[in-house]
Structure 1
Protein backbone atom coordinates (compact mmCIF):
# COMPACT_ATOMS: atom_id res chain seq x y z
CA UNK A 1 0.00 0.00 0.00
CA UNK A 2 1.20 3.50 -0.79
CA UNK A 3 1.36 5.63 2.36
CA UNK A 4 0.46 9.23 1.54
CA UNK A 5 -0.03 10.51 5.08
CA UNK A 6 0.93 9.37 8.56
CA UNK A 7 0.80 11.23 11.84
CA UNK A 8 0.92 10.77 15.58
CA UNK A 9 -2.50 11.50 17.12
CA UNK A 10 -2.50 10.89 20.87
CA UNK A 11 -0.96 9.03 23.78
CA UNK A 12 -4.08 7.64 25.44
CA UNK A 13 -4.43 6.29 28.97
CA UNK A 14 -8.10 5.36 28.80
CA UNK A 15 -11.26 5.11 26.66
CA UNK A 16 -12.15 8.78 27.05
CA UNK A 17 -9.03 9.65 25.04
CA UNK A 18 -9.46 7.09 22.25
CA UNK A 19 -10.37 8.48 18.79
CA UNK A 20 -14.06 8.58 17.99
CA UNK A 21 -13.91 8.60 14.18
CA UNK A 22 -14.51 4.86 13.85
CA UNK A 23 -11.42 4.05 11.77
CA UNK A 24 -9.94 0.56 11.85
CA UNK A 25 -7.44 -0.01 14.65
CA UNK A 26 -4.54 -2.47 14.65
CA UNK A 27 -2.69 -3.02 17.92
CA UNK A 28 1.05 -3.71 18.05
CA UNK A 29 2.27 -5.74 21.00
CA UNK A 30 5.65 -7.19 21.93
CA UNK A 31 8.47 -7.26 24.41
CA UNK A 32 10.43 -4.11 25.12
CA UNK A 33 13.18 -3.57 22.52
CA UNK A 34 11.65 -6.02 20.02
CA UNK A 35 11.47 -3.25 17.43
CA UNK A 36 7.92 -1.89 17.48
CA UNK A 37 8.92 1.74 16.94
CA UNK A 38 11.30 0.81 14.13
CA UNK A 39 8.60 -1.25 12.43
CA UNK A 40 6.08 1.58 12.73
CA UNK A 41 8.49 4.10 11.23
CA UNK A 42 9.26 1.80 8.32
CA UNK A 43 5.59 0.98 7.68
CA UNK A 44 4.59 4.66 7.76
CA UNK A 45 7.57 5.97 5.76
CA UNK A 46 8.26 8.47 8.52
CA UNK A 47 11.69 8.24 10.11
CA UNK A 48 11.44 9.14 13.78
CA UNK A 49 7.64 9.47 13.92
CA UNK A 50 7.47 6.68 16.47
CA UNK A 51 10.18 7.45 18.97
CA UNK A 52 12.81 4.78 19.56
CA UNK A 53 13.89 4.77 23.18
CA UNK A 54 17.13 3.38 24.58
CA UNK A 55 15.28 2.84 27.85
CA UNK A 56 13.07 -0.29 27.73
CA UNK A 57 9.63 0.08 29.25
CA UNK A 58 9.40 3.82 28.57
CA UNK A 59 6.13 3.62 26.64
CA UNK A 60 3.34 3.67 29.22
CA UNK A 61 0.37 4.65 27.07
CA UNK A 62 -1.51 3.52 23.98
CA UNK A 63 0.07 5.59 21.21
CA UNK A 64 -2.19 6.21 18.21
CA UNK A 65 -0.75 6.74 14.71
CA UNK A 66 -3.13 7.47 11.84
CA UNK A 67 -2.27 6.32 8.31
CA UNK A 68 -3.91 7.59 5.11
CA UNK A 69 -6.96 8.74 7.10
CA UNK A 70 -7.92 5.06 6.93
CA UNK A 71 -6.59 3.21 9.96
CA UNK A 72 -4.72 3.55 13.22
CA UNK A 73 -1.69 1.69 14.43
CA UNK A 74 -1.99 1.49 18.22
CA UNK A 75 1.40 1.01 19.86
CA UNK A 76 1.19 -0.83 23.19
CA UNK A 77 3.60 -0.63 26.13
CA UNK A 78 6.34 -3.24 25.85
CA UNK A 79 5.96 -6.18 28.17
CA UNK A 80 8.53 -8.34 29.93
CA UNK A 81 10.81 -5.62 31.29
CA UNK A 82 11.55 -6.36 34.94
CA UNK A 83 12.68 -2.87 36.00
CA UNK A 84 9.30 -1.25 35.35
CA UNK A 85 7.60 -0.48 38.66
CA UNK A 86 4.93 -2.94 39.78
CA UNK A 87 2.27 -0.24 40.07
CA UNK A 88 2.90 0.86 36.48
CA UNK A 89 2.69 -2.74 35.27
CA UNK A 90 -0.67 -3.09 37.03
CA UNK A 91 -1.94 0.07 35.33
CA UNK A 92 -0.76 -1.24 31.96
CA UNK A 93 -2.55 -4.52 32.57
CA UNK A 94 -5.89 -2.88 33.30
CA UNK A 95 -5.59 -0.50 30.37
CA UNK A 96 -4.55 -3.22 27.92
CA UNK A 97 -7.16 -5.73 29.08
CA UNK A 98 -9.92 -3.15 28.80
CA UNK A 99 -8.83 -2.15 25.31
CA UNK A 100 -8.43 -5.67 23.96
CA UNK A 101 -11.76 -6.86 25.32
CA UNK A 102 -13.92 -3.83 24.68
CA UNK A 103 -12.59 -1.78 21.76
CA UNK A 104 -15.01 -2.27 18.87
CA UNK A 105 -12.68 -0.62 16.36
CA UNK A 106 -9.89 -3.14 17.02
CA UNK A 107 -9.54 -5.46 14.03
CA UNK A 108 -6.56 -7.66 14.92
CA UNK A 109 -3.22 -7.82 16.70
CA UNK A 110 0.28 -7.59 15.29
CA UNK A 111 2.52 -9.39 17.75
CA UNK A 112 6.26 -8.81 17.35
CA UNK A 113 8.82 -11.43 18.33
CA UNK A 114 12.58 -11.43 17.78
CA UNK A 115 13.38 -13.96 15.05
CA UNK A 116 16.73 -14.76 16.67
CA UNK A 117 15.19 -16.24 19.81
CA UNK A 118 12.41 -18.65 20.73
CA UNK A 119 9.31 -16.82 22.04
CA UNK A 120 9.50 -15.99 25.73
CA UNK A 121 6.92 -16.95 28.34
CA UNK A 122 5.50 -13.45 28.03
CA UNK A 123 5.23 -13.83 24.24
CA UNK A 124 3.39 -17.13 24.64
CA UNK A 125 1.10 -15.73 27.35
CA UNK A 126 0.19 -12.72 25.18
CA UNK A 127 -0.59 -14.90 22.17
CA UNK A 128 -2.69 -17.29 24.27
CA UNK A 129 -4.58 -14.38 25.80
CA UNK A 130 -5.44 -13.04 22.35
CA UNK A 131 -6.75 -16.46 21.36
CA UNK A 132 -8.85 -16.74 24.51
CA UNK A 133 -10.66 -13.51 23.72
CA UNK A 134 -10.94 -14.31 20.02
CA UNK A 135 -8.51 -11.80 18.52
CA UNK A 136 -6.84 -12.70 15.19
CA UNK A 137 -3.07 -12.26 15.28
CA UNK A 138 -0.34 -11.61 12.74
CA UNK A 139 3.04 -12.62 14.16
CA UNK A 140 5.92 -10.51 12.87
CA UNK A 141 9.42 -11.94 13.33
CA UNK A 142 11.55 -8.80 13.60
CA UNK A 143 15.26 -8.26 12.95
CA UNK A 144 15.31 -10.59 9.96
CA UNK A 145 18.51 -8.93 8.77
CA UNK A 146 20.34 -10.22 11.86
CA UNK A 147 20.38 -13.82 10.67
CA UNK A 148 21.01 -15.44 7.28
CA UNK A 149 17.98 -15.76 5.02
CA UNK A 150 18.63 -19.49 4.79
CA UNK A 151 17.87 -19.81 8.50
CA UNK A 152 14.53 -17.99 8.43
CA UNK A 153 12.48 -21.13 7.89
CA UNK A 154 14.13 -22.88 10.82
CA UNK A 155 13.56 -19.93 13.15
CA UNK A 156 9.98 -19.26 12.08
CA UNK A 157 9.19 -22.94 12.60
CA UNK A 158 10.37 -22.63 16.21
CA UNK A 159 8.20 -19.52 16.66
CA UNK A 160 5.19 -21.24 15.10
CA UNK A 161 5.55 -24.31 17.31
CA UNK A 162 6.29 -22.38 20.51
CA UNK A 163 3.24 -20.15 20.11
CA UNK A 164 1.12 -23.00 18.78
CA UNK A 165 -0.10 -20.77 15.97
CA UNK A 166 -3.79 -21.26 15.28
CA UNK A 167 -6.41 -20.62 12.63
CA UNK A 168 -5.67 -17.94 10.05
CA UNK A 169 -2.77 -16.52 12.04
CA UNK A 170 0.45 -16.18 10.08
CA UNK A 171 4.14 -15.27 10.45
CA UNK A 172 5.93 -12.57 8.46
CA UNK A 173 9.69 -12.00 8.60
CA UNK A 174 10.48 -8.30 8.91
CA UNK A 175 13.52 -6.04 8.91
CA UNK A 176 13.31 -2.33 9.62
CA UNK A 177 16.82 -2.00 8.19
CA UNK A 178 16.23 -3.52 4.75
CA UNK A 179 12.46 -3.18 4.42
CA UNK A 180 12.06 -6.95 4.21
CA UNK A 181 8.44 -7.89 4.91
CA UNK A 182 7.04 -4.36 4.64
CA UNK A 183 5.00 -4.97 1.49
CA UNK A 184 3.92 -8.40 2.70
CA UNK A 185 2.72 -6.97 6.01
CA UNK A 186 0.79 -4.18 4.32
CA UNK A 187 -0.82 -6.74 2.00
CA UNK A 188 -1.84 -8.85 5.00
CA UNK A 189 -3.24 -5.80 6.80
CA UNK A 190 -5.36 -4.81 3.81
CA UNK A 191 -6.51 -8.39 3.22
CA UNK A 192 -7.78 -8.68 6.76
CA UNK A 193 -9.46 -5.28 6.71
CA UNK A 194 -11.24 -6.05 3.44
CA UNK A 195 -12.32 -9.47 4.74
CA UNK A 196 -13.69 -7.86 7.89
CA UNK A 197 -15.61 -5.25 5.91
CA UNK A 198 -17.08 -7.92 3.63
CA UNK A 199 -18.16 -9.97 6.63
CA UNK A 200 -19.79 -6.92 8.20
CA UNK A 201 -21.71 -6.22 4.98
CA UNK A 202 -22.92 -9.82 4.78
CA UNK A 203 -24.00 -9.77 8.41
CA UNK A 204 -25.93 -6.54 7.87
CA UNK A 205 -27.58 -7.95 4.74
CA UNK A 206 -28.69 -11.10 6.56
CA UNK A 207 -30.08 -9.02 9.40
CA UNK A 208 -32.16 -7.01 6.94
CA UNK A 209 -33.46 -10.22 5.31
CA UNK A 210 -34.71 -11.72 8.58
CA UNK A 211 -36.02 -8.48 10.06
CA UNK A 212 -39.84 -8.33 10.13
CA UNK A 213 -41.27 -6.17 7.40
CA UNK A 214 -42.45 -2.81 8.64
CA UNK A 215 -46.19 -2.16 8.41
Structure 2
Protein backbone atom coordinates (compact mmCIF):
# COMPACT_ATOMS: atom_id res chain seq x y z
CA UNK A 1 0.00 0.00 0.00
CA UNK A 2 1.17 3.50 -0.81
CA UNK A 3 0.79 5.49 2.41
CA UNK A 4 0.28 9.24 2.12
CA UNK A 5 -2.53 9.98 4.57
CA UNK A 6 -2.37 8.70 8.12
CA UNK A 7 -3.42 10.08 11.48
CA UNK A 8 -3.85 9.11 15.09
CA UNK A 9 -7.63 8.87 15.23
CA UNK A 10 -8.46 7.48 18.66
CA UNK A 11 -6.83 6.74 22.00
CA UNK A 12 -8.69 4.71 24.57
CA UNK A 13 -8.80 2.14 27.31
CA UNK A 14 -12.39 0.90 26.82
CA UNK A 15 -14.64 0.06 23.90
CA UNK A 16 -16.71 3.22 23.87
CA UNK A 17 -13.51 5.18 23.16
CA UNK A 18 -12.59 3.09 20.12
CA UNK A 19 -13.46 4.05 16.51
CA UNK A 20 -16.91 3.00 15.34
CA UNK A 21 -16.02 2.52 11.68
CA UNK A 22 -15.74 -0.98 10.27
CA UNK A 23 -12.25 -0.55 8.82
CA UNK A 24 -10.23 -3.76 9.26
CA UNK A 25 -7.64 -3.59 12.04
CA UNK A 26 -4.05 -4.79 12.31
CA UNK A 27 -2.97 -4.94 15.97
CA UNK A 28 0.65 -4.70 17.09
CA UNK A 29 1.58 -6.47 20.33
CA UNK A 30 4.87 -6.92 22.11
CA UNK A 31 6.93 -6.40 25.24
CA UNK A 32 7.60 -2.89 26.48
CA UNK A 33 10.38 -1.25 24.48
CA UNK A 34 10.44 -3.99 21.81
CA UNK A 35 9.91 -1.37 19.10
CA UNK A 36 6.18 -1.37 18.26
CA UNK A 37 5.97 2.38 17.70
CA UNK A 38 9.20 2.36 15.67
CA UNK A 39 7.81 -0.39 13.46
CA UNK A 40 4.54 1.47 12.91
CA UNK A 41 6.42 4.69 12.06
CA UNK A 42 8.57 2.78 9.55
CA UNK A 43 5.53 1.19 7.88
CA UNK A 44 3.71 4.52 7.49
CA UNK A 45 6.84 6.47 6.46
CA UNK A 46 6.67 8.84 9.41
CA UNK A 47 9.39 9.70 11.89
CA UNK A 48 7.34 10.17 15.01
CA UNK A 49 3.59 9.83 14.50
CA UNK A 50 3.44 6.68 16.61
CA UNK A 51 4.55 7.58 20.11
CA UNK A 52 7.99 6.25 20.94
CA UNK A 53 9.61 6.41 24.36
CA UNK A 54 12.85 5.40 25.99
CA UNK A 55 10.84 4.59 29.10
CA UNK A 56 9.40 1.05 28.97
CA UNK A 57 5.79 0.71 30.05
CA UNK A 58 4.85 4.28 29.21
CA UNK A 59 2.18 3.46 26.62
CA UNK A 60 -0.93 2.74 28.67
CA UNK A 61 -3.63 3.11 26.02
CA UNK A 62 -4.75 1.42 22.82
CA UNK A 63 -3.89 3.79 19.96
CA UNK A 64 -5.69 3.66 16.60
CA UNK A 65 -3.90 5.00 13.51
CA UNK A 66 -6.11 5.58 10.47
CA UNK A 67 -4.25 4.46 7.34
CA UNK A 68 -5.58 5.92 4.07
CA UNK A 69 -9.19 5.61 5.28
CA UNK A 70 -8.81 1.88 4.60
CA UNK A 71 -7.61 0.26 7.81
CA UNK A 72 -6.35 0.89 11.31
CA UNK A 73 -2.98 0.08 12.79
CA UNK A 74 -3.67 -0.56 16.48
CA UNK A 75 -0.79 -0.07 18.92
CA UNK A 76 -1.45 -2.14 22.06
CA UNK A 77 0.18 -1.34 25.43
CA UNK A 78 3.55 -3.00 25.93
CA UNK A 79 3.61 -5.79 28.46
CA UNK A 80 6.09 -7.32 30.86
CA UNK A 81 7.86 -4.29 32.34
CA UNK A 82 8.53 -5.15 35.97
CA UNK A 83 8.71 -1.58 37.31
CA UNK A 84 5.11 -0.85 36.30
CA UNK A 85 2.76 -1.31 39.23
CA UNK A 86 1.20 -4.76 39.37
CA UNK A 87 -2.32 -3.33 39.35
CA UNK A 88 -1.54 -1.42 36.15
CA UNK A 89 -0.05 -4.52 34.51
CA UNK A 90 -3.15 -6.52 35.36
CA UNK A 91 -5.40 -3.77 34.01
CA UNK A 92 -3.48 -3.60 30.72
CA UNK A 93 -3.58 -7.39 30.46
CA UNK A 94 -7.35 -7.45 30.84
CA UNK A 95 -7.71 -4.59 28.36
CA UNK A 96 -5.55 -6.34 25.75
CA UNK A 97 -7.28 -9.69 26.25
CA UNK A 98 -10.72 -8.07 25.98
CA UNK A 99 -9.71 -6.27 22.78
CA UNK A 100 -8.33 -9.45 21.21
CA UNK A 101 -11.44 -11.46 22.00
CA UNK A 102 -14.20 -8.90 21.39
CA UNK A 103 -13.07 -6.44 18.73
CA UNK A 104 -14.95 -7.44 15.57
CA UNK A 105 -12.89 -5.46 12.96
CA UNK A 106 -9.65 -7.03 14.24
CA UNK A 107 -8.37 -9.37 11.56
CA UNK A 108 -4.58 -9.52 11.80
CA UNK A 109 -2.11 -9.44 14.68
CA UNK A 110 1.60 -8.68 14.53
CA UNK A 111 3.57 -10.00 17.49
CA UNK A 112 6.94 -8.31 18.00
CA UNK A 113 9.87 -9.97 19.76
CA UNK A 114 13.46 -8.82 20.17
CA UNK A 115 15.56 -10.98 17.84
CA UNK A 116 18.48 -10.90 20.28
CA UNK A 117 16.63 -12.66 23.10
CA UNK A 118 14.71 -15.87 23.56
CA UNK A 119 10.96 -15.09 23.89
CA UNK A 120 10.15 -15.13 27.59
CA UNK A 121 7.10 -16.23 29.57
CA UNK A 122 5.24 -12.98 28.84
CA UNK A 123 5.75 -13.48 25.10
CA UNK A 124 4.46 -17.04 25.34
CA UNK A 125 1.44 -15.87 27.35
CA UNK A 126 0.70 -13.25 24.70
CA UNK A 127 0.98 -15.90 22.00
CA UNK A 128 -1.52 -18.02 23.95
CA UNK A 129 -3.88 -15.00 24.21
CA UNK A 130 -3.63 -14.48 20.46
CA UNK A 131 -4.21 -18.12 19.57
CA UNK A 132 -7.07 -18.44 22.04
CA UNK A 133 -8.68 -15.46 20.29
CA UNK A 134 -8.49 -17.43 17.03
CA UNK A 135 -5.48 -15.82 15.36
CA UNK A 136 -2.07 -16.99 14.21
CA UNK A 137 0.09 -13.85 14.38
CA UNK A 138 2.71 -12.57 12.01
CA UNK A 139 5.86 -12.62 14.15
CA UNK A 140 8.29 -9.74 13.61
CA UNK A 141 11.77 -10.01 15.12
CA UNK A 142 12.94 -6.44 15.80
CA UNK A 143 16.44 -4.97 16.09
CA UNK A 144 17.77 -7.22 13.33
CA UNK A 145 20.55 -4.74 12.58
CA UNK A 146 22.18 -5.73 15.88
CA UNK A 147 23.07 -9.20 14.52
CA UNK A 148 24.98 -10.49 11.52
CA UNK A 149 23.33 -12.81 8.99
CA UNK A 150 24.52 -16.08 10.53
CA UNK A 151 23.34 -14.96 13.95
CA UNK A 152 19.95 -13.98 12.56
CA UNK A 153 19.23 -17.50 11.28
CA UNK A 154 20.29 -18.98 14.62
CA UNK A 155 18.06 -16.63 16.60
CA UNK A 156 15.09 -17.13 14.28
CA UNK A 157 15.28 -20.85 15.03
CA UNK A 158 15.28 -20.08 18.77
CA UNK A 159 12.20 -17.87 18.39
CA UNK A 160 10.46 -20.53 16.27
CA UNK A 161 10.95 -23.14 18.97
CA UNK A 162 9.99 -20.85 21.88
CA UNK A 163 6.72 -19.75 20.22
CA UNK A 164 5.85 -23.18 18.78
CA UNK A 165 5.89 -21.98 15.17
CA UNK A 166 5.96 -24.34 12.19
CA UNK A 167 8.78 -22.59 10.33
CA UNK A 168 11.17 -19.66 10.58
CA UNK A 169 9.41 -18.41 7.43
CA UNK A 170 6.65 -17.26 9.81
CA UNK A 171 9.09 -14.72 11.28
CA UNK A 172 10.17 -11.50 9.56
CA UNK A 173 13.44 -9.92 10.78
CA UNK A 174 13.01 -6.15 11.01
CA UNK A 175 15.24 -3.13 11.66
CA UNK A 176 13.89 0.35 12.30
CA UNK A 177 17.35 1.68 11.43
CA UNK A 178 17.67 0.12 7.96
CA UNK A 179 13.96 -0.59 7.28
CA UNK A 180 14.89 -4.22 6.62
CA UNK A 181 11.72 -6.27 6.62
CA UNK A 182 9.26 -3.39 6.14
CA UNK A 183 8.38 -4.38 2.57
CA UNK A 184 7.86 -8.01 3.58
CA UNK A 185 5.53 -6.95 6.40
CA UNK A 186 3.52 -4.78 4.02
CA UNK A 187 3.29 -7.73 1.60
CA UNK A 188 1.64 -9.77 4.36
CA UNK A 189 -0.74 -6.93 5.24
CA UNK A 190 -1.67 -6.33 1.59
CA UNK A 191 -2.39 -10.04 1.06
CA UNK A 192 -4.64 -10.04 4.11
CA UNK A 193 -6.44 -6.88 2.96
CA UNK A 194 -7.05 -8.46 -0.45
CA UNK A 195 -8.56 -11.48 1.29
CA UNK A 196 -10.80 -9.24 3.43
CA UNK A 197 -11.99 -7.37 0.35
CA UNK A 198 -12.72 -10.64 -1.44
CA UNK A 199 -14.75 -11.89 1.53
CA UNK A 200 -16.73 -8.65 1.69
CA UNK A 201 -17.51 -8.82 -2.04
CA UNK A 202 -18.76 -12.39 -1.66
CA UNK A 203 -21.05 -11.31 1.19
CA UNK A 204 -22.46 -8.50 -0.98
CA UNK A 205 -23.16 -10.99 -3.79
CA UNK A 206 -24.95 -13.31 -1.36
CA UNK A 207 -27.09 -10.42 -0.09
CA UNK A 208 -27.98 -9.34 -3.64
CA UNK A 209 -28.99 -12.90 -4.56
CA UNK A 210 -31.34 -13.07 -1.59
TM-score (norm 1): 0.90
* Superposed CA offset, 1:55-75 (max 9, x none): 110111101111111111111
Query: Using the alignment, how far apart are the partners of 1:200 and 1:22 within structure 2?
Result: 12
| Structure 1 SS opposite 2:64 | strand
Judge conservation of contact 1:57–1:79 (CA < 8 Å) in 2: yes
Aligned to 1:190: 190
Moved over 2 A (4+): 196-209
Aligned to 1:115: 115
CA RMSD of aligned residues (A): 1.9
Q: Shift in Å at residue 206 of structure 1?
A: 6.0
Query: Using the alignment, how far apart are the partners of 1:45 and 1:33 within structure 2?
Result: 20
Unaligned 5+ residue runs, structure 2? none
Aligned to 2:36: 36
Aligned to 1:7: 7
Query: Using the alignment, how far apart are the partners of 2:208 and 2:160 within structure 1?
Result: 41
Tell me how many residue pairs correspond in the alignment. 209
TM-score (norm 2): 0.92
Q: After superposition, where does 1:33-182 map in structure 2 within 5 Å?
A: 33-165=33-165, 170-182=170-182
Q: Shift in Å at residue 5 of structure 1?
A: 1.1
| Structure 2 SS opposite 1:64 | strand
Query: Using the alignment, how far apart are the partners of 1:187 and 1:41 within structure 2?
Result: 17
Judge conservation of contact 1:10–1:64 (CA < 8 Å) in 2: yes
Judge conservation of contact 2:97–2:129 (CA < 8 Å) in 1: no
* Superposed CA offset, 1:12-64 (max 9, x none): 11110111121111111000110111111111111111121121101111011
